[in-house]
Structure 1
């Protein structure tokens, strides 16, 4: 299978894994929900898990791949404040924990670019 065909499936797998994790271990996700959001952190945790699972399904299907990939790019931008909150909350923790939290911040960029690339490639395959 060529790389261009694997890429959307790998991104779908990443999102599906993250989506399942939101239900399997919700507590760790509750902790990074920005306090400025209304309602319960658990509601946001579950909602983002559902969104990740829906995006994964959309990416897996060629017919819905382009809009799902564009939505995934927007999703990665939208969850960035949670990653910032995690980094800020861990600034006084041990070095390894702090490094992981701050290391996640720049990872959003390749995720956004990956999703946009999947959308671009889906255009050519339609």
Structure 2
């Protein structure tokens, strides 16, 4: 399997795992939905889980990989406010939890770059 294919499938696996987690353990995601968003946090949790599952499917399929990987990069930028919300909310928690919340912030950069790399490496649709 070529390296670019493996990278695409790993990204799809990460997205699928995160998407499933939104439905298996939604409370942890509900808690980081920025309070400025309208509606129920659970609705946002479910919507982001569905989005991650759809992106996973798109990245996994060569025919849709390029556009899905670009959308994934945008998605990773879009969830940054939730990670910021988590860091703010967890500022008074024990050090390991605070470190985990703060560690999520710079992690968005390599995730965005990874998704862009997958998009660039994907074949153009016929």
Q: Output the TM-score relative to the length of structure 1.
A: 0.97
- Gap runs ≥5 in structure 1: none
1:64-99 per-residue CA deviation (whole Å, 9 max, x = no partner) reads: 000000000000000000000000100110000000
1:59 paired to 2:59: yes
Query: Which has a greater percent of helix?
Result: 1
1:53 CA drift (Å): 0.0
Q: CA shift at 1:4, angstroms?
A: 1.1
Report 1:6-17 matches (<5 A). 6-17=6-17
The corresponding residue for 1:40 is: 40
CA distance in 2, matches of 1:21, 1:114: 21
- The 5-angstrom pairing of residues 63-102 of structure 1 reads 63-102=63-102
Deviation at 1:123, TM superposition (A): 4.0
TM-score when normalising by structure 2: 0.97
* Structure-2 separation of matches of 1:39 and 1:124: 38
* Structure 1 vs Structure 2 CA RMSD: 1.2
Question: What secondary structure does 1:62 align onto?
Answer: coil
Give CA deviations for 1:35-87 in whole Å, capped at 9, x if unaligned. 00000000000000000000000001000000000000000000000000000
- Structure 2 residue matching 1:111: 3-state secondary structure: helix
Say which SS state the counterpart of residue 63 (structure 1) adopts.
coil
CA distance in 1, matches of 2:97, 2:11: 25
